[in-house]
Structure 1
Amino acid sequence: MGELTGRTALVTGAGRGIGRAVARGLARDGALVAVHYHRNETAARETLELIAEDGGQAFGVRSELGVPGDAEALYARLEDTLADRGAGPDLDILVNNAGVSGPGRVQDVTPELFDRLFAVNTRSPFFLVQRGLKNLRDGGRIINISSAVTRIAYPESVAYAMAKGALNTFTLALAKELGPRRITVNAVSPGFIETDMNARKRTTPEAAAQLAALSAFNRIGHPADIADIVVFLASDRSRWITGQCIDASGGSRL
């Protein structure tokens, strides 16, 4: 019996990378995990297979984010799948992990890129929370995956940094709003992690070494480094932590 047994979690963007590691971690601790994905069904199936090998329970939910009506569509599929499993629509843990990146200095960012980054990284989590509040049980957990670029100047991707900064502000305000319901709201801010999103930045050993050198530990982070923090924030042990943006960059650029 894991600490999260009897609880239901939704992890967006859980087909790969940090989302996959988070979904596995929550499932290992006993949660029933909804593995959200959009295009890559093969990756989502791999996540589900890994969870099953770990002895956990999970199911896939396919839905596009960053488009009109995305929150309603996702929750409709989630509720239908839970009903098919004989479960109610209640949710205990929401992890807003899905995100997109896009390089561009201020002079290079197009309106289309700007809108896309904010649609997926900021607007989508906002309305997933808004729509999910009727599903989320009192005492639940909301965990937003932010980025260390909200602390460290990163002009190479200014619009992405702005979108994640807005997510941190949302975290703070939401924690105050939901405190009376004993729902904690926190953000986790990774640095460079070994994921597909960052693959283009470590195409050579020299580039990978430069990224590793940013951390006080002289290595690039692993998805499990972030997942372990998220699982803690999802547990009862984190009950007195809310409204926080937790730096999980391995001490990058201290």
Structure 2
Amino acid sequence: MSEPLAYVILGAYGGIGSELARQLAQKGAKLLLVGRDEARLAALTSELGASYAVAEATSSAQIEASIAQAVESFGSVYGVANCFGSLLLKPAHLTSDEELESTLAINLKSAFAVTRATGRLLKTGGSVVFVSSAAARLGMANHEAIAAAKAGIQGLALAAAASYAPRNLRFNCVAPGLTRTPLTERITGNETVAKGSLAMHALGRFGEPADVASAIEWLLDPRQHWITGQILGVDGGLATVRARGGA
């Protein structure tokens, strides 16, 4: 029987990250779960029999240290998923410099830190998956800052896929539509706002954390070793499809 693979999940106790952790744990994977809230990490690791490391999404040094910890603890790491993220819905003229910088730091800077760390530390190949957004492909009002950050993640993944392909280190993204997580509750929990957003999703429902986590898990799997530099829409058709109404 082959040795279980090891994975690092950053932003591990969020809606998508925690579901991904549970899916991988069910398959026997060795996990290092990373986030800023030690109490929430400890609770999840206790549930899953995993390990954890405390790191801020905005700290490149802490992100690299957490991946280095996983390599040291497990001997090798096959995959890393960066589920750190934030959501800012404001037009550009109402967005402060501080809000823009925070959005870019939590989303894009964390992805760059993961790229640099895995480029240094994953010597024998593997899989890195980032979480982008359908908003990076579809012009949506009041999404300027977050769309810029998420589009940057996509460009980063494509460049990294080219740079590290000779080492069989793969980089891919998932690009979700609106997904029911604690981060989006103020949208999905508002009946009026949710109704308008729901109408934009051709499949007629919002995503669930398991929908996105399953796609990330699939890209992390070594059986997908010929897939790199891809942006996988997990969005109910939001970015590409417009339903006509009744069938």
Q: Answer whether TM exceeds 0.5 for this pair.
A: yes
What are structure 1's unaligned runs of at least 5 residues? 52-56
CA contact (8 A) 2:173 2:232 kept: yes
CA separation of 1:139 and 1:212: change in aligned 2, threshold 3 A: same
Secondary structure of the 2:92 match is coil
Secondary structure of the 2:128 match is strand
The yes-or-no answer on 1:59 pairing with 2:51 is yes
Q: Deviations over 1:91-117 (max 9, x none)?
A: 211111101121210111111111111
The yes-or-no answer on 1:48 pairing with 2:40 is no
TM-score (norm 1): 0.86
The residue aligned with 1:72 is: 61
Residue of 30, 33, 46 corresponding to 1:32? 30
Give the Cα separation in 2 of the matches to 1:49 and 1:217. 36
Q: What is the letter of the counterpart of residue 157 of structure 1?
A: H
CA contact (8 A) 1:91 1:137 kept: no
Q: Deviations over 1:12-59 (max 9, x none)?
A: 1111201111112222222211111113x34323422442xxxxx411
> % of aligned pairs identical?
27
CA contact (8 A) 2:68 2:121 kept: no
The residue aligned with 2:225 is: 239
Note the 1:162-173 alignment, pairs <5 A.
162-173=148-159
Give the Cα separation in 2 of the matches to 1:30 and 1:229. 18
Give the Cα separation in 2 of the matches to 1:210 and 1:118. 27
The residue aligned with 1:54 is: none
Secondary structure of the 1:241 match is coil
By how many angstroms is 1:82 displaced?
Answer: 6.5
Q: Deviations over 1:51-95 (max 9, x none)?
A: 2xxxxx4112111121xxx23223335545765x5x43x321111
CA separation of 1:8 and 1:81: change in aligned 2, threshold 3 A: closer
CA contact (8 A) 2:11 2:84 kept: yes
By how many angstroms is 1:131 displaced?
Answer: 2.3
Residue of 175, 187, 201 corresponding to 1:189? 175
Q: Note the aligned Cα RMSD (angstroms).
A: 2.0
Aligned length: 240
The residue aligned with 1:178 is: 164
Q: Deviations over 1:155-175 (max 9, x none)?
A: 312111001101000011111
CA separation of 1:47 and 1:160: change in aligned 2, threshold 3 A: same
CA contact (8 A) 1:22 1:228 kept: yes
Q: What is the letter of the counterpart of residue 196 of structure 2?
A: Q
Residue of 178, 189, 203 corresponding to 1:203? 189
Give the Cα separation in 2 of the matches to 1:7 and 1:137. 15
Secondary structure of the 1:163 match is helix
CA contact (8 A) 1:16 1:43 kept: no
CA contact (8 A) 2:218 2:224 kept: yes
Secondary structure of the 1:172 match is helix
Give the Cα separation in 2 of the matches to 1:197 and 1:71. 23
